[in-house]
Amino acid sequence: MPRKPSNRIGEVYGELTVVRSSTRRTGSGNAYWWCLCNCGKQREVSSDLLSNKIRQKKNVIACKECSKKLSIESIHRHKHLEEMERRKKAAQKRIELIGQVPKHWLLLPLTDAHARELGRTLFFRGCKCLNGHISPYRINGGCLACSKEKAVVND
Ligand SMILES: [Zn+2]
Ligand SMILES: [Zn+2]
């Protein structure tokens, strides 16, 4: 027996405001609602995906296009935070290595991405490679000591 949907018009979920009911039902009998996105587009969303309480990944909080945009942004944000964390760790490791490694290593970019950002080719994270070297790395190349290059900074 299909349940009579509770009235959710006016409820807000992220970018979406519920504007009218739909006659569509999910397989399990959940009602669909037409929602208006802040960008002006409408999206039909089943009521089980309209929730502010459970932070489920599948909760719908925007029209299809905006959802795509939002998820791309959140991936970028996540990647950015990871990179900042990586740099912080590298900086800490390098502080521990002061006096134990050539000074110019400590002036190299902190990570691969950092080196790319600065248009450099070498970076020094201060951690050991798989062969136990503490050495600068070349972007796309790996440990300088492993590749038996002289760890001379000429980039
Ligand atoms: Zn939208
Ligand atoms: Zn190595």
Predicted confidence (pLDDT) per residue in 40-77, tens digit: 999 999 999 998 776 666 899 999 999 999 999 999 99
- CA nearest neighbour of 14 among 55, 46, 48, 44: 55
CA distance 59 to 56: 5
Q: Is residue 48 part of a domain?
A: yes
Among all ligands shown, which has an atom nearest to the Cα of 131? 2
Q: Is residue 30 part of a domain?
A: yes
pLDDT at 111 over 70: yes
Among all ligands shown, which has an atom nearest to the Cα of 62? 1
CA distance 145 to 61: 50
Q: Is residue 101 part of a domain?
A: yes
* Co-location of 83 and 126 in the same domain: yes
65 within 8 A of 39, measured Cβ to Cβ: yes
Q: Is residue 29 part of a domain?
A: yes
Q: Which pLDDT does position 52 carry in this prediction? A: 79
24 CA to middle of ligand 1, Å? 21
Domain with 138 in it: 70-143
CA distance 99 to 67: 50
* Co-location of 112 and 47 in the same domain: no
* Co-location of 47 and 27 in the same domain: yes
Q: Is residue 43 part of a domain?
A: yes
